Amino acid sequence: MDEMNGNSVLQTAEQDLLNLMAENHISAAFDTPMRKDAFELDDETKIELIEKHFSHIMNILGLDLNDDSLRDTPKRVAKMYVKEIFSGLNPADKPSVTLFNNQYKYNQMLVERNIAVYSNCEHHFVPITGKAHIAYISNGKVIGLSKLNRIVQYYSQRPQVQERLTIQIANEIKTALGTEDVAVVIDAHHHCVSSRGIRDMNSSTVTTEYSGRFLSSETRNEFLKHIG
């Protein structure tokens, strides 16, 4: 009986912990997994804490932090994480979107090809590099072209999986333009495949997201022809 009671208490405690973890996380189908308190710390505090933790990692690896070349590495890495390669985690860094009236009544697809993608795999924190191709059909508004690049950059600058990144970019463009007629293709090279494990240097991964008129094979094929 005592053992059964002990097991029951343990199971209750484990469930309470799981419930607490669930309550402290933002959960949505296409959102990057984030805790609700993710932005309570300012950037400088995050940099300071990451610097300390990365110093511990380097010490565990046996590196000499007194060496001139390594002394400032923890701080450099911390600043890079917060201010650069993971800056897309912070909603404050989300680019503003500039829209213009479609005064030319252009009702064909607009395609921007070969937008640079530089992200990091959330499983190993190593780079994902490649190109994004975007198309949309105006619903009365057009977007400044550089804003498409900035949207890609914003969602890329966080730990990612390519499927989610593709959907996030498409959803953001649909929301900004008020149209479902959006297509996104990403062709990317994953360094977690090339630099570790199988070490395949030649493979790439292609993900797509089509909606609205791009679900039509005729419209989709026209888009694919444009991006080659």
Q: Which residues are catalytic?
A: 121-124, 162, 190, 192
Q: How many CB atoms lie within 10 A of CB 118?
A: 15
Tokens of 164: 């989610």
End-to-end C-alpha distance for the chain, whole angstroms: 70
Distances (CA, A) of 70 to 30, 59, 66, 85, 113: 38, 11, 7, 20, 40
Cα–Cα–Cα angle for 90, 93, 97, rounded to 5 degrees:
130
Token digits of residue 100:
């213009």
**Distance from the Cα of residue 23 to its chain's centroid:** 23
- Burial status of residue 129 (CB atoms within 10 A of its CB: 0-12, 13-18, 19 or more): middle
